[in-house]
Structure 1
Amino acid sequence: MAGSVITTSDGVRLRVSDTGGGGIPLVMLHGWGQTAALFEGQLVGLADSRRVIAYDMRGHGLSDKPDHGYRIARLAADLRDVLEGLGIERADLLGWSMGASVIWSYLELFGSARVRSLVLVDQPAAVLAWPWTTEERSAETGAILPIDGLTELAASIAADEDGDVVQSFVRSMFSEPVDERVWRVVSEQIRQTPVHAAVPLLLDHAAQDWTDVLGLIDVPVLVIGCEGSHVGVRSQRELAARIPGAVVHVFERDAVSSHFPFLEATESFNGLVEAFLSGVTSSASTGVEKRGDTRSQLSQPVRA
């Protein structure tokens, strides 16, 4: 597996893992506070049939940790820079947790010209339950944090020198006793994101509501949810229902008891993703890649 560095338009160096090979690559985006290392099972397990790419976002893992750019929109611009830096004209995108939000922002800002299909893993359309948000709306969108809870969490993370608050927060994403192997990977990677990156990014990420973007998505989409996650399964079904032609798969609790299906059920997860992407390939052979006949209403590509 090759490693490389892509420099973004504002001079930030991002560490990239790339299995190489031809065809349409799968580009994987990790969640808040985590890294591409969590996708090791996919970089290995999916590489026989396709090129697989994962990278550490700014402020995470082995990438630069500057004092600027910790917004979802900037991370979307970084994704554009990665695609351009690697010379990728067409890609399948997989976003887990915050990585899905980065994809939604990318589509809103730059359009879907470079995107063949999406895999969206366990991310609600909205994270923050505003004071005027009804319980029904929160259940539909997956809003899981009240605004006072978010500010208290951010303040606690900012004041915590040992990283114990973040560790506890991530531990709450598991509903059952944590497999030691899985927890070791997750807990080690979360410590690589400094507070100056984690706090503003958490606040910006949580404040977004992507429901207005979902109905404009014009590529094939697989939504993956988990009964054992802190993200409500209903929100994942509602998410798929809002995206034209999307399909949804929910891992049952006895298979996945957390927010990390690609770690807990690696083979099943890889098989699910491979089957979906192979189906997109089959559709492409008939000239039908995008579901629906309407033209995309997402923005045309622009430079940030």
Structure 2
Amino acid sequence: MHTLFSTILAAILLLSANVTLAASAISVLGKDYLFPNRIAGLPAKLSDFKDLQINTFKTSDGVKLAYWEAGRGRPLIFIPGWSSNGAEYINVIYLLSKQYHVYVLDLRNQGLSQRVEYGNRIARYAMDVKELATHLGLATADYCGWSMGASIMWSYMDLFGTNGIRKFVGIDEPVSIYSHADWPERERLDAGGMTTSPERMIAAFTKGTPANSLIVDMKVMERFTVMDSPYYQNSIGFAGTFIQNDPHYLSLVLFDHVMNDWRDVIRQKINVPTAIFTGEYSNNVPSQRWMQSVIPGAILFVYSKAEQGDHFLVFKNPVKFATDLGSFLEQ
């Protein structure tokens, strides 16, 4: 009997070691937060969003990654862009969690995830996404990649195929950030090329080093600073209170990110229902139209300037985005 009891206890302990206990966001962050703008239909303070959790798991190469989650229903996984995090998705999570089980992964070296000097390649980030799905026990899910998050999902499909992806959404990411010197202008536009010097782009994005538009397209950074949306003010303020980015760690993935050209993957490997989002303020519109032309059945949403149609449309106009995304997912 003693031996049987010991065996059962050991099994229970082993099982519990692999289960992440749910943790409320407010307990993880340590305090409440009052959003600067009171907006009907959204929380006035963090504690109003009682369903929001922040949990963690460890990757196969030993990195502790955080993910934000709320809601019930079909799983919907968001992969943020470079330097972004789950806190910035607070409005989107709240709106979509009424219908879906929403997850937002904090990539390594971003958000609340661990800072490490290794594994800073888009392919490894794609593996992290796959390992998140395994950790959550998800055989299939809808995936939404914004900015660099779209590149991570292209890498995921290149490496693992689309068997675990029900539907895919990509938001305003160039097909190839690096613009080759021998490309004609049409090819540059279709690829979305926005720099001829990865090193200069990295310095501009991480250190604020000046760069002219012939070397680096700075439209993204210009639109980042335009704070004319109360939704955006709330999410940026919330993220800024709890997330401390380190430019050094953020820079580690950028060279690999800039130098990838995803045209072969987009042409040949995306065989699931796909939606693409962009906006009139973005210089990426031609590349997003190219993607729509080569992905069978792809749907393109182009937000107007009045609809906050720039690289940050998800956060500047979350109500419209959540509505459009939901409509696509339910088709």
Question: SS where residue 291 of structure 2 aligns?
Answer: helix
What is aligned with 1:212?
264
What is aligned with 2:223?
174
What is aligned with 1:3?
54
Q: In the alignment, which of 97, 114, 125 is matched to residue 64 of structure 1? A: 114
Aligned residues: 271
- What's the TM-score once normalised by structure 1's chain length? 0.82
Q: In the alignment, which of 156, 159, 163 is matched to residue 113 of structure 1? A: 163
Q: Aligned partners of 2:229 and 2:308: how far apart in 1?
A: 14
CA spacing shift, 1:264–1:164, aligned 2, 3 Å: farther
Shift of 1:232: 2.4
- Note if contact 1:32-1:97 (Cα within 8 Å) is conserved in structure 2: yes
CA spacing shift, 1:110–1:72, aligned 2, 3 Å: same
What is aligned with 1:221?
274
CA spacing shift, 1:106–1:21, aligned 2, 3 Å: same
CA spacing shift, 1:193–1:70, aligned 2, 3 Å: farther
CA spacing shift, 1:127–1:152, aligned 2, 3 Å: same
Q: State how 1:241-260 maps to structure 2 within 5 Å.
A: 241-260=293-312
Shift of 1:73: 0.4
Q: In the alignment, which of 64, 77, 102 is matched to residue 13 of structure 1? A: 64
Q: Aligned partners of 1:180 and 1:278: how far apart in 2?
A: 28
What is aligned with 2:248?
196
What is aligned with 1:154?
202
What is aligned with 2:193?
143
Equivalent AA in structure 2 for residue 35 of structure 1 = N
Deviations 1:43-70 (A, max 9, x none): 1001111111102100001100111111
What is aligned with 1:133?
183
Deviations 1:78-121 (A, max 9, x none): 00110001111100000000000000000111111111010111
Unaligned 5+ runs, structure 1: 280-304
Q: Aligned partners of 2:86 and 2:247: how far apart in 1?
A: 19
- Note if contact 2:170-2:277 (Cα within 8 Å) is conserved in structure 1: yes
Shift of 1:38: 1.6
What is aligned with 2:131?
81
Unaligned 5+ runs, structure 2: 1-51, 211-217
Shift of 1:269: 0.5
Q: Aligned partners of 1:171 and 1:124: how far apart in 2?
A: 12
CA spacing shift, 1:41–1:154, aligned 2, 3 Å: same
Question: SS where residue 83 of structure 1 aligns?
Answer: helix
Equivalent AA in structure 2 for residue 104 of structure 1 = W
- Note if contact 1:130-1:146 (Cα within 8 Å) is conserved in structure 2: yes
Question: SS where residue 117 of structure 1 aligns?
Answer: strand
Shift of 1:157: 5.7
CA spacing shift, 1:263–1:11, aligned 2, 3 Å: same
Question: SS where residue 201 of structure 2 aligns?
Answer: helix
- Note if contact 2:72-2:98 (Cα within 8 Å) is conserved in structure 1: no
Question: SS where residue 129 of structure 1 aligns?
Answer: coil
CA spacing shift, 1:89–1:48, aligned 2, 3 Å: same
Q: Aligned partners of 1:185 and 1:40: how far apart in 2?
A: 6
Q: Aligned partners of 1:83 and 1:175: how far apart in 2?
A: 30
Over the aligned positions, Cα root-mean-square deviation in angstroms equals 2.5
Shift of 1:175: 8.5
Shift of 1:20: 4.2
Q: State how 1:31-46 maps to structure 2 within 5 Å.
A: 31-46=81-96
CA spacing shift, 1:188–1:201, aligned 2, 3 Å: farther
- What's the TM-score once normalised by structure 2's chain length? 0.76
Q: Aligned partners of 2:164 and 2:128: how far apart in 1?
A: 14
Shift of 1:241: 1.0
Q: Aligned partners of 2:60 and 2:256: how far apart in 1?
A: 21
